Structure 1
Amino acid sequence: MKYKISLFLLLTTVLFSCQNENEKRLAENAKEAKKKEAIFNNINKGWTFLDEPINEISESQLNSWTEWREFIKEIGEKPRKTIGAFQKKSTAISKKAMALNNNIPAQFNQPQIKSRISILITKIKMLDLFIHLSTIPDDKVVFLIQEINKELISLERQMDKIVERAKIPKEEGEADFLKMLDTTRAIPSSAPPIDQNNIQKVE
């Protein structure tokens, strides 16, 4: 009889312990789900890229740059429903951003444009890295989206400056003056040394 009572008490303790474990697990799962939902809502709210040109000048000049058009289209499409959709979109944006180094129109193929594209790519890669972490730092993701928007504005403003500068008519002789300043056109310094013995002395 004592054996049966002991067995009954043991089974009751085990069942009670399992019930407590299940309740703890359910509470932790609910807490984790709530945390993930908060992260998703924060990213969903902050996921707004500037996909419209800030000036019509650069827009008209960029129609022939396929990589730029595809990049702008990619950032303009907002993902929906899951954090996984945002992760896929981030990877797609990163690939399109990397392609911006290709086929840059001759007018914009300048160091100040290339450096801004490089900064833009770096920040997009950071966004892609952060959004794929097991615990997503949603505040950093939202901050990087704002930083990417700033870089887009900076890049487009630089493009506009280049377009505006090209419209200013050059003054007469300015082209020749600019050629003179071009060091790549200078006479090479590899001319043979002058033989001092052959120089006739002027009396």
Structure 2
Amino acid sequence: MSDDRYITLARRSEGVLREKASKFIGIAFPIAHEEEFKAILGTIGREHHSARHLCYAWVLGTVGERFRSSDAGEPAGTAGKPILRQLRTHSLTYAAVVVVRYFGGTLLGKAGLLHAYGEAARLALQDNDPIEEVLFDPFSVRCAHHQVEPLRSFLMSLEANVIEARYEETCLLNVAVPKRSRAHFLAHCERYALVVDDQGPK
């Protein structure tokens, strides 16, 4: 993870581990915010209503600064932490893993639980496809009509997006510029006397 891009999951995926008659089902999926995670956790709970435990971990924020894990009734530190460790190992954010346990009657001990929950999470993530998301900064740019096409070409070279264009006495373009190209974009606008307004959080 960096300050201009992050890695998350492409879709939902599952992995199954059987350990001494217990069945562990790892379910990995992308999330946009905590409320979405809670909704998906509720759905998983209904799908697996007879399971003994639903342990989980999630990570949010462009650099993974928000996270949570839960042992959901397992001994402290034996379930949520190894799941979270797998998310960290894969450098993922805006992602979650839930591990459902169907108890088979045999106690696994702390070491056994640490292994089982971590491995179920790993198997779920192994079957997924990580995707890289680029972070953008929003700007509005005002320019003369004859400057629009050169500006569009320049934006294309930066892999920036034109969100909206309004053609009046002058032209106003609302654009999204990759964070990594922010300084280059601003220098270009200054060089050609384009009027720029940073639309990001104030």
Query: After TM superposition, is the score higher than 0.5?
Result: no
| Higher share in strand | 2
- Which structure ranks higher in relative contact order (CA pairs < 8 Å, sequence separation ≥ 6)? 2
User: Which of structures 1 and 2 has the bigger CA Rg?
Assistant: 1
After TM superposition, the score normalised by the length of structure 2 is 0.22
After TM superposition, the score normalised by the length of structure 1 is 0.22
